[in-house]
Chains A and B, each alone.
Chain A
Amino acid sequence: MQLLILSLPFLMSIVVIGVGFVFSPARFSFSRALAVALPGLALAIEVVLIWQPTANSPDGSFGFTPLDQLFLTFLFALTLAALGGAYTTGNLNSGRFSPVVLAVSGAIIAALYIHNIFLQTLFFVLAGFFSIVAVVDVGTDDEERFVRAIKAAVRYLIATVLFGLIFFIALVFLERLRVDPQLIGLIKVVVALTVVGIATRLAIFPFNLWLPEIAEIAPGLANFLVMGLINGATVVFLVDFLQNNPALLLDNYPVAQPMMIFGLAGGCAAGLLALGQNEFGKMLAYIVSADFGLILFGLASPHRTGLNGALFEAANLALMQVLIYTSLSVVSYCTEGKSPNGLSGLGRRMPIATLGLAVGLMGMVGLPFFSGFVGKYLLLQSAAQEGLVWVLAGGLTLFFMLIASFSYFHRIFMGNDVPGLKTLPEPRGARVIIVGLIAVVLLVGIWPAALLNWIDSALRAAF
Chain B
Amino acid sequence: MDFLTIDAGNYGFYAAILLLSTIIIAVYKNWLLLTPALVLQFLVVAIIANQLNTTATRVMLGPLPLAVFLKGVAGVVAGLILFLTGYAILFESRGFRRAEAAEEASGRGGLRRFFYREESARFNRFRYVDYLLPLGAIIIAAGATYALTTLLPFSGNFLGDFAFYWLGSVGIAIMVVGRDILKLGAGLLVALNGVDLLYALLRSGNSPLVLGISAAVSILLALLISYLAILYHNKMKTLLISEGFRRKRKEVV
Complex A-B: 30 CB contacts under 8 Å: A116-B207, A116-B209, A116-B210, A122-B217, A125-B217, A126-B216, A129-B220, A129-B224, A136-B228, A140-B234, A144-B248, A147-B236, A147-B245, A150-B181, A151-B241, A154-B184, A154-B241, A157-B188, A157-B224, A158-B188, A161-B188, A161-B192, A164-B192, A165-B168, A165-B195, A172-B198, A172-B203, A173-B202, A175-B202, A178-B204
Residues on the B chain within 8 Å of A126, using CB = 216-217, 220
Residues on the B chain within 8 Å of A51, using CB = none
Residues on the A chain within 8 Å of B228, using CB = 132, 136, 150, 153-154, 157
CA distance in complex: A190, B226 (Å): 34
Specify the chain B residue showing the minimal Cβ separation from A145: B248
B188 touches A143 (CB 8 A): no
Interface size class of B (residues with CB under 8 A): 35 or more
Q: How far is the CB of A436 from chain B (nearest CB, A)?
A: 35
Asked if B45 lies at the interface with its beta carbon under 8 angstroms from chain A, I say: no
B236 touches A161 (CB 8 A): no
Add 7 more A-B contacts to A122-B214, A126-B220, A136-B228 (CB < 8 A): A116-B210, A119-B213, A129-B217, A133-B227, A164-B195, A169-B195, A172-B199
Specify the chain A residue showing the minimal Cβ separation from B155: A176
Per-residue CB proximity of A100-138 to B under 8 Å, as 1/0?
Answer: 000000000000000010110011011001001100100
Residues on the A chain within 8 Å of B225, using CB = 157
B186-216 residues at the A interface, CB under 8 angstroms: 188, 191-192, 194-195, 198-199, 201-204, 207, 209-210, 213-214, 216
CA distance in complex: A164, B192 (Å): 9
A132 touches B204 (CB 8 A): no
CA distance in complex: A248, B183 (Å): 37
Assuming A143-B248, A147-B248, is B184 touching A158 (CB within 8 A)? yes
Q: How far is the CB of A67 from chain B (nearest CB, A)?
A: 24
Per-residue CB proximity of A148-167 to B under 8 Å, as 1/0?
Answer: 00110110011001001100
Assuming A161-B221, A172-B198, A175-B202, is B235 touching A118 (CB within 8 A)? no
Asked if B231 lies at the interface with its beta carbon under 8 angstroms from chain A, I say: yes
Q: How far is the CB of B120 from chain A (nearest CB, A)?
A: 16
B202 touches A172 (CB 8 A): yes
Across the A-B interface, give the 8 residue pairs with the lowest CB-CB distance, nearest first: A147-B244, A172-B202, A118-B210, A122-B213, A140-B235, A161-B188, A150-B232, A144-B248
CA distance in complex: A132, B227 (Å): 10
B123-181 residues at the A interface, CB under 8 angstroms: 168, 175, 181
Specify the chain A residue showing the minimal Cβ separation from B203: A175
Asked if A369 lies at the interface with its beta carbon under 8 angstroms from chain B, I say: no
Assuming A125-B217, A129-B224, A150-B228, is B209 touching A119 (CB within 8 A)? yes
A168 touches B195 (CB 8 A): yes
Residues on the B chain within 8 Å of A133, using CB = 224, 227
Residues on the A chain within 8 Å of B192, using CB = 161, 164-165
Q: How far is the CB of B160 from chain A (nearest CB, A)?
A: 12
Specify the chain A residue showing the minimal Cβ separation from B198: A172
CA distance in complex: A176, B202 (Å): 6
Asked if A179 lies at the interface with its beta carbon under 8 angstroms from chain B, I say: yes
Asked if A146 lies at the interface with its beta carbon under 8 angstroms from chain B, I say: yes
* B residues adjacent to A (C-beta < 8 A): 168, 175, 181, 184, 188, 191-192, 194-195, 198-199, 201-204, 207, 209-210, 213-214, 216-217, 220-221, 224-225, 227-228, 231-232, 234-236, 241, 244-245, 248
A49-79 residues at the B interface, CB under 8 angstroms: none
Per-residue CB proximity of A168-184 to B under 8 Å, as 1/0?
Answer: 11001101101100000
Indicate the member of A136, A158, A179 with the most B CB atoms within 10 Å. A158
Residues on the A chain within 8 Å of B198, using CB = 168-169, 172
Residues on the A chain within 8 Å of B232, using CB = 147, 150
Residues on the A chain within 8 Å of B248, using CB = 143-144, 147
B214 touches A136 (CB 8 A): no
B210 touches A119 (CB 8 A): yes
CA distance in complex: A175, B204 (Å): 7
CA distance in complex: A143, B204 (Å): 50
B181 touches A154 (CB 8 A): yes
Residues on the B chain within 8 Å of A176, using CB = 202, 204
Residues on the B chain within 8 Å of A147, using CB = 232, 236, 241, 244-245, 248
Q: How far is the CB of A302 from chain B (nearest CB, A)?
A: 30
Q: How far is the CB of B24 from chain A (nearest CB, A)?
A: 21
Residues on the A chain within 8 Å of B213, using CB = 119, 122-123
Residues on the B chain within 8 Å of A118, using CB = 199, 207, 210
Assuming A126-B217, A172-B203, A175-B203, is B191 touching A161 (CB within 8 A)? yes
Residues on the A chain within 8 Å of B201, using CB = 172
A129 touches B221 (CB 8 A): yes
Q: How far is the CB of A224 from chain B (nearest CB, A)?
A: 20
Residues on the A chain within 8 Å of B204, using CB = 175-176, 178-179
B210 touches A122 (CB 8 A): yes
CA distance in complex: A173, B217 (Å): 21
Residues on the A chain within 8 Å of B168, using CB = 165
Q: How far is the CB of A106 from chain B (nearest CB, A)?
A: 13
Residues on the A chain within 8 Å of B191, using CB = 161, 165
Q: How far is the CB of B169 from chain A (nearest CB, A)?
A: 13
Specify the chain B residue showing the minimal Cβ separation from A135: B228
A168 touches B199 (CB 8 A): yes
CA distance in complex: A132, B181 (Å): 14
A150 touches B241 (CB 8 A): yes
CA distance in complex: A118, B210 (Å): 7
Residues on the B chain within 8 Å of A119, using CB = 209-210, 213
Q: How far is the CB of B230 from chain A (nearest CB, A)?
A: 11
Q: How far is the CB of B151 from chain A (nearest CB, A)?
A: 15
Residues on the B chain within 8 Å of A151, using CB = 241, 244-245
Residues on the B chain within 8 Å of A154, using CB = 181, 184, 228, 241
Per-residue CB proximity of A24-59 to B under 8 Å, as 1/0?
Answer: 000000000000000000000000000000000000
Specify the chain A residue showing the minimal Cβ separation from B227: A133
Residues on the A chain within 8 Å of B210, using CB = 116, 118-119, 122
Residues on the B chain within 8 Å of A132, using CB = 224, 228
Q: How far is the CB of A168 from chain B (nearest CB, A)?
A: 5
